Amino acid sequence: MSAQAITSVLLVVVVALPLVAAAVVALSGSRRLGAWLSALAALPAFALAAVGQTDVTVTLPWLVQNTALGLDEVGRVFLGFTSVLWFASGWYASMALADEDEQPRFHMFFLAAMAGNLGLIIAQDVSTFYACFALMGFASVGLVLHRNDAEAARAAKIYVALAVVGEALIVAGLAYMVATVGSTRIEVLRAADPMMAAVVCLLLGFGIKAGALSLHFWLPLAHPAAPVPASAVLSGAMIKAGLLGWIRFLPLGTAALPALGLSLVVAGMTASVLGAAAGVAQRNAKTVLAYSSISQMGIITVGVGIGLVSAQAWPAILASVLIYATHHALAKGALFLGLGPALAAEGRATRMVTWVGMLVPALALTGAPFTSGAIAKLALKSNLQFLPGTWPSWLGAILPVAAVGTTLLMLRFLWLLATAPAKPSATRGVAVPWAVLVGAVVVGVWLFPGSWDLVPTKLSPAKLWLATWPLLAGGSLALLPILLRRLGFLAPPVTIPPGDVVVLGELAVSRWPGLGLAERLASAYSWFAESIHRGGSGFVLRLRSILPALEDGLCRWQAAGAALAGLSIVLYLLLVLA
């Protein structure tokens, strides 16, 4: 069989295998079959990323308005780290969930989300891309809701609400582009003149999936509710679908939009700092990792913003964005999957090996010297020169602050993990897939062309110090509260509820129904701030007492229909008046 034929077969199998597997698991209800298929269904995608050719396109005229599947260099990178993460997470799930009655249901949603995630990467037309994006998004609801308790239900409701808003924005943007250009092929749409109405809709719609600032609050709610393997793919792979949507449909490399690009840079840097600050104030290890994803995606957003500012520099910027996305996906997935082995470790030697394995991705995320994170941050930082005026100087000063925040996040995560109760029997046999992902963290970024060329620039004393001092500063800041507490000078620990801004909205709706909107938000903010200063335990108890009434209030909230109608009118006006 020729290389073109192998590529054609793999392009179809990449989507068809997990999709058919999900149907088989749903119909059979077999635990063993679901476990095997979840672990193996991502392998064709890895094979395609490794040996697939970029000059082959498969067209299926009978499917979803002339479906076209193909592989380009951007898709190869995304398919590579995405398939590795789905494979390791599926393998992990087959063992970690082996004793659960709901295991077949989990594998069904897991495989469906996998089909959507892999399919949107190789989609070459708008209809297929959106169909796969929607499949991934709504199948993920089943993963978030898997535990089927009050926390999971609340997280799923908020996730669905944001997903629906995101889908509406994406549909509006894509429909406007297709109607204006007259083609459904992605490469044709990207070559067309930028359409601001579509750009804004797509920027916001995909921004929800990417966890962009002010659209991020579903992440810290969904991750603690979902099982560990689902959290790994949510944070490492599926969140990158928003980034891929930006790369596919924004006028990156074809037109310069300085105002929009600089706004994206500001939003990204703000998310990188505030995400770290909010994550340090969490009490759940998985929630800390969720806020870390918000912070890291903020840094990637900066790269996309620079690309909108300087169109001619986009090829170099794209390479750094892909390196950073690969580094973050593998490192974050390894940290999530490491929860099981770390909690199950028994014996001194096993615990030592496990903690060394956890330090590898943690140090990579902080950008420690000689790690994938150091290469990723150097590649991204090299693009600051494409910004106008004093922007490079300002960002050059803020990026180390974000690195200090990431160090604090990783120390907070490791502390919470070290003090968590052990679960030796619940996570038996999950160390091997986790070790595979840790190995991918070590070698993954170095497979990029040009990565080794960056090493000499990192070996000078000045560069080594620039990469090291944020770690030392973060470690010192982490020790400061311990010292102050021993001296008796420290107030109760600060706690920010997961979801942060959404809590304000929920309180404004449920706690002060007789006030106007502005008064509701002001009262909610005051109560929110006072609770934070008083410490975490009282706040959590009060929040738990409010949640039942809150859910009832949201279900009866008559303004929900008006809000949806208003959103529809706004989208219509954008399409008509643009």
**Amino acid type, 422:** A
> pLDDT tens for residues 489-514?
665 566 676 766 665 555 555 554 55
Residue 35 located in a structural domain: no
User: Into how many domains does the chain fold?
Assistant: 2
| Contact criterion met (CB below 8 Å) for 49 and 76 | yes
292/348: higher pLDDT = 292
Where does the pLDDT of residue 19 fall: very low under 50, low under 70, confident under 90, or very high at 90 and above?
very high
| Contact criterion met (CB below 8 Å) for 86 and 136 | no
Residue 39 located in a structural domain: no
Where does the pLDDT of residue 559 fall: very low under 50, low under 70, confident under 90, or very high at 90 and above?
very low
- Both 445 and 473 in one domain: the answer is yes
Distances 168 to 174, 339, 561 between C-alpha atoms, Å? 10, 36, 15
- Both 326 and 435 in one domain: the answer is yes
Residue 555 located in a structural domain: yes
| Contact criterion met (CB below 8 Å) for 206 and 170 | yes
Mean pLDDT of 59-65: 77
Residue 121 located in a structural domain: no
Which range has the top average pLDDT, 19-28, 111-120, 270-279? 111-120
The pLDDT, as a whole number, for residue 453 is 63
Mean pLDDT of 420-428: 66
- Of 462, 490, 518, at which residue does a domain stop? 490
Whether residue 160 has pLDDT greater than 80: yes
- Both 402 and 484 in one domain: the answer is yes
Residues in the chain: 578
- Both 526 and 465 in one domain: the answer is no
Nearest C-alpha neighbor of 166 from the set 197, 115, 116, 211: 211
Whether residue 408 has pLDDT greater than 50: yes
Instruction: Identify the H or E element spanning 68.
Output: strand 67-70
Mean pLDDT of 454-477: 71
> pLDDT tens for residues 108-140?
999 999 999 999 999 999 999 999 999 999 899
- Give the chain's mean pLDDT: 81
Residue 456 located in a structural domain: yes
- Both 379 and 455 in one domain: the answer is yes
The pLDDT, as a whole number, for residue 571 is 46
Rounded Cα–Cα distance for residues 325 and 300 (Å): 7
Residue 194 located in a structural domain: no
- Both 486 and 340 in one domain: the answer is yes
DSSP state of 283: S
Rounded Cα–Cα distance for residues 239 and 85 (Å): 12
Question: Considering the chain, what percentage of its residues have pLDDT values greater than 70?
Answer: 79
Least confident of 324-328, 374-378, 405-409, 529-533: 529-533
Rounded Cα–Cα distance for residues 321 and 303 (Å): 6
Question: 3-class DSSP state for residue 235?
Answer: helix
Rounded Cα–Cα distance for residues 459 and 444 (Å): 20
Residue 349 located in a structural domain: yes
Mean pLDDT of 198-219: 81
Nearest C-alpha neighbor of 279 from the set 295, 303, 266, 268: 295
- Of 460, 490, 520, at which residue does a domain stop? 490
Residues sharing a CB contact under 8 Å with residue 98, sequence separation 6 or more, in sequence order:
31, 35
Rounded Cα–Cα distance for residues 55 and 77 (Å): 16
DSSP state of 348: H
Structure tokens at 570: 């706004």
Rounded Cα–Cα distance for residues 238 and 383 (Å): 26
Nearest C-alpha neighbor of 333 from the set 201, 452, 240, 399: 240
Q: How many CB atoms lie within 10 A of CB 113?
A: 27
Question: 3-class DSSP state for residue 185?
Answer: strand
Mean pLDDT of 543-562: 45
- Both 377 and 482 in one domain: the answer is yes
- Both 400 and 424 in one domain: the answer is yes
Distances 220 to 217, 426, 431 between C-alpha atoms, Å? 6, 24, 25
- Both 460 and 518 in one domain: the answer is no
Question: Considering the chain, what percentage of its residues have pLDDT values greater than 90?
Answer: 34
CA 492-498-500 angle, to 5 degrees, is 90
Q: How far is CA 192 from the centre of its chain?
A: 29
- Sign, Cα dihedral of 505, 511, 517, 519: negative
Rounded Cα–Cα distance for residues 520 and 499 (Å): 18
- Both 483 and 535 in one domain: the answer is no
Structure tokens at 292: 């870390």
- Of 490, 517, 550, at which residue does a domain stop? 490
Whether residue 257 has pLDDT greater than 70: yes
- Both 553 and 443 in one domain: the answer is no
Mean pLDDT of 209-227: 76
Burial track 69-97 (b if 16+ CB lie within 10 A, e otherwise)? bbbbeebbbbbbbbbbbbbbbbbbbbbbb
Least confident of 87-96, 191-200, 214-223, 490-499: 490-499
Range of the domain at 434: 307-490
Question: 3-class DSSP state for residue 280?
Answer: helix
Least confident of 5-9, 126-130, 466-470, 507-511: 507-511
The C-alpha torsion from 137 through 138 and 144 to 149, rounded to 10°, is 160
- Both 375 and 476 in one domain: the answer is yes
> pLDDT tens for residues 81-104?
999 999 999 999 988 887 777 788
Instruction: Identify the H or E element spanning 381.
Output: helix 372-381
The pLDDT, as a whole number, for residue 368 is 86
Residue 92 located in a structural domain: no
Nearest C-alpha neighbor of 509 from the set 497, 524, 494, 499: 524
The pLDDT, as a whole number, for residue 32 is 81
